[in-house]
């Protein structure tokens, strides 16, 4: 028996290409980051201060409240996004990738029980991101159209139907992919940031007293004057200022650390500060917000309608980017074994990461539409929004404690001084946001818990199925080789068997499917290949893509081989294409003509084992429901596109 591990770059699989190719310039990547990464947080000025000051002081707030409120806004944006994400969290890349599931893969490598709570927390955070994906398109587009009421009050009634129409277009367009539009997102969002910065700067020059808000003591003084309950309400409203900030880390793999930092500190961050301070300066002038929309009050009357149009475009781009991010999140979760194998279409030939997941798309569309029609205004939606943002940021900070300890080898003292302090701050924001449960916060919490339950159930079901399947008594590889040598008759076609467990040594048990075929027909193929697919907890597999184990190879009698294929969670696991490439390079005994292949696969009929308790039976029923919407593993791996499949139903009792 021999085992060979491939070291050459594999052309047998369609490997995901990163969105930040090496030859791209810093300016080009930075502009791309502006268009994709900062859309969510860049449109938060449309609604954040309206909701904040509505809670602080209905009507026109006094100067002390304005300066204190803006001080809280400035330092919330600075500490939670500029300091935490841009300077520190961006360092926690997993082979260049970022996001909650990249952290999951990073921490999963440490086989310690102490890491398990962090993994469960990251799963819950991923669930909250789906809640974010439903609310962000609704609140950003709706708040943009509410600017029509500032242009002309009778147009207010058009905000709702216009929002529904734009959301419909945005979600329908996902099926075609947006790679062709990507090149214009950057310039459009850059224009947006320049415009909002100019609007804010104009008001600051008129009322420079607002610059006192740069002193954090004004914000702390305001919190102290409102009591504990009023302070929590204020903190809950402040989360809208940093909504979308988690995208700085989630899109790390598309653009890289440096372009995101340059785009943030050179354009997005100063533009947001100027606009927020400008809105505060407008309030210092003593004028009420036009139609309750403080952002649009900054624009001269002649520029009001163009500003509404630009806001709608910016909100649509922000929505599209977030929706595409949820598709990527679904495919990553699937590759990590946390999510059902949903039908997925690739929308770009060169980039495997650009995908379209119909089930996720239409679920988000239905949820966004329900929120728009159910809540009716961005002010009402604000109550539902903050919890998802606060939850994701808290989970990220919690996971960073484990990253600092296990990945960066920090001592406990600096870990607690930095990440412990940030966790306490994020925890305060999360506790404040939880006060909005009854006012709409139950929406993202319910979605997050539902997705978490799906992930936990799918993870459990896959492990239980594997354990039950592996417990079946089958012949060993050594016994198989002996029978193969002694057989008088052999099938001439090459048989490929998908193996759910490793087959690498003579003493390993062969798949139950092979035992079933032997018991039924009593004949073996001349060439037999076991294929095991391994999903590593890394984004990309750079070396050792596959390993070939030769159990038997004879020119006259044929061969028995084992092939282990490895994929990262950012890659497309196309097994058929991988085997085709290996056959073309004569690394396995497989004909290049697909018509000479027979791929044997199994479909497990899951049954409850005797003694399985009521909770176990309930989990099994939920897992069986999830299997109905999940693609069979063989189709997910690209098998059956060109080759002949032979499927057998195997009864498997789950314990």
Q: Give per-10-residue mean pLDDT for the chain (655 aa).
A: 50 40 71 89 93 80 93 97 95 89 88 86 92 89 90 86 94 74 81 97 95 96 91 92 91 88 96 97 87 88 91 91 86 89 72 75 94 89 85 95 93 95 95 88 91 93 84 89 89 84 87 87 89 86 86 87 89 86 83 76 83 86 90 84 79 81
The CATH superfamily holding the domain 37-456 is: Amino acid/polyamine transporter I (1.20.1740.10)
Q: Shortest CA distance to 474 belongs to which of 521, 511, 520?
A: 511
Q: Are 527 and 494 in contact (CB under 8 A)?
A: yes
422 Cβ partners below 8 Å, 6+ apart?
79, 84, 397, 400
For residue 567, what are the β-bridge partners?
A: 535
pLDDT at 3: 57
Q: Would you state the structure tokens that stand for residue 435, as one six-digit string? A: 């006060």
Look up the pTM and report it: 0.86
pLDDT at 35: 87
H or E stretch covering 22: none
Q: How far is CA 647 from the centre of its chain?
A: 33
How far is the C-alpha of 310 from the C-alpha of 299, rounded, in Å? 12
Q: For 25, list phi and psi in degrees, rounded to 5.
A: -80, 160
Q: Shortest CA distance to 165 belongs to which of 365, 445, 5, 339?
A: 365
Question: CA angle 39-330-173, nearest 5°?
Answer: 55
For residue 559, what are the β-bridge partners?
A: 527, 553
- Name the residue ranges covered by the structural domains of the chain: 2-10+471-654, 37-456
How far is the C-alpha of 405 from the C-alpha of 357, rounded, in Å? 36
Side-chain-facing half-sphere of 179: CA atoms under 13 Å: 15
How far is the C-alpha of 435 from the C-alpha of 423, rounded, in Å? 19
Neighbours of 426 (CB within 10 A): 24
Buried-state track 543-552, b at ≥16 Cβ within 10 A, e below 16: eebbbbbebb
Per residue in 523-549, pLDDT (tens digit) is 998 889 999 998 888 888 888 888 899
Q: For 370, list phi and psi in degrees, rounded to 5.
A: -65, -40
pLDDT at 26: 86
How far is the C-alpha of 649 from the C-alpha of 637, rounded, in Å? 19
Mean pLDDT of the chain: 87
Per residue in 88-113, pLDDT (tens digit) is 999 998 888 888 998 998 898 887 77
């Amino acid at each position: 028996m021999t085992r060979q591990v491939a070291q050459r770059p594999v052309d047998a699989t369609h490997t995901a290409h990163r969105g930040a190719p090496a030859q791209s310039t810093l300016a080009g990547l930075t502009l791309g980051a502006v268009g994709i990464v900062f859309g969510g947080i860049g449109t938060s000025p449309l609604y954040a201060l309206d909701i904040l000051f509505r809670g602080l002081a209905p009507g026109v707030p006094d100067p002390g409240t304005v300066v204190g409120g803006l001080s809280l806004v400035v330092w919330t944006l600075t500490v939670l996004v500029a300091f935490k994400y841009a300077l520190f969290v961006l360092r926690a890349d997993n082979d260049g990738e970022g996001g909650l599931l990249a952290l999951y893969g990073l921490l999963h490598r440490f086989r310690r029980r102490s890491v398990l709570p962090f993994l469960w927390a990251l799963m819950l955070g991923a669930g909250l991101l789906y809640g974010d994906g439903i609310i962000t398109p609704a609140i950003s587009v709706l708040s943009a159209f509410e600017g029509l009421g500032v242009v002309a009050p009778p147009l207010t009634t058009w905000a709702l139907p216009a929002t529904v129409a734009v959301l419909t277009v945005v979600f329908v367009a996902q099926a075609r992919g947006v790679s062709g539009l990507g090149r214009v997102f950057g310039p459009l969002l850059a224009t947006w940031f320049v415009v909002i910065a100019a609007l804010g700067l104009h008001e600051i020059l008129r009322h420079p007293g607002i610059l006192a808000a740069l002193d954090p003591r004004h914000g702390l003084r305001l919190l102290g004057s409102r009591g504990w309950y009023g302070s929590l309400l204020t903190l809950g409203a402040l989360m809208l200022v940093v909504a979308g900030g988690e995208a700085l880390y989630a899109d790390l793999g598309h653009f890289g650390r440096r372009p995101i930092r340059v785009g943030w500190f050179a354009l997005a961050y100063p533009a947001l500060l100027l606009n927020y301070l400008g809105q505060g300066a407008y309030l210092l002038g003593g004028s009420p917000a036009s139609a309750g929309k403080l952002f649009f009050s900054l624009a001269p009357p002649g520029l009001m309608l163009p500003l509404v149009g630009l806001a709608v475009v910016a909100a649509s781009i922000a929505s599209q980017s977030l929706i595409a991010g949820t598709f990527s999140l679904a495919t990553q979760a699937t590759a990590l074994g946390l999510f059902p194998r949903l039908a997925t279409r690739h929308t770009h030939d060169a980039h495997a990461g650009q995908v379209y997941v119909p089930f996720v798309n239409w679920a988000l569309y239905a949820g966004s539409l329900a929120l728009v029609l159910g809540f009716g205004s961005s002010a009402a939606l604000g109550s539902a929004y903050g919890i998802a943002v606060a939850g994701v940021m808290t989970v990220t900070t919690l996971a960073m404690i484990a990253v600092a300890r296990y990945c960066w080898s920090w001592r406990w003292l600096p870990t607690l001084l930095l990440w412990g302090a940030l966790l306490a701050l994020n925890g305060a924001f999360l506790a404040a946001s939880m006060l909005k449960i009854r006012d709409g916060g139950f929406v993202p919490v319910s979605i997050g818990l539902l997705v978490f339950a799906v992930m936990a159930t799918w993870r459990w079901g896959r492990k239980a199925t594997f354990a039950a399947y592996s417990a079946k008594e089958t012949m060993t590889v050594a016994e198989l080789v002996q029978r193969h040598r002694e057989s008088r008759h052999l099938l001439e076609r090459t048989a490929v068997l998908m193996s759910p467990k490793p087959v690498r040594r003579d003493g390993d048990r062969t798949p139950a499917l092979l035992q079933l075929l032997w018991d039924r027909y009593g004949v073996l193929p001349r060439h037999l290949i076991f294929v095991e697919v391994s999903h590593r907890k890394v984004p990309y597999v750079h070396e050792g893509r596959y390993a070939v184990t030769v159990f038997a190879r004879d020119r006259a009698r044929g061969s028995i081989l084992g092939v282990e294929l490895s994929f990262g969670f950012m890659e497309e696991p196309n097994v058929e294409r991988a085997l085709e490439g290996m056959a073309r390079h004569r690394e396995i005994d497989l004909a290049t003509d697909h018509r000479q292949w027979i791929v044997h696969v199994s479909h497990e009929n899951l049954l409850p084992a005797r003694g399985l308790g009521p909770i176990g039976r309930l989990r099994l029923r939920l897992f069986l429901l999830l299997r109905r919407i999940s693609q069979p593993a063989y189709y997910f791996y690209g098998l059956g596109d060109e080759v002949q499949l032979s499927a057998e139903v195997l009864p498997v009792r789950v314990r």
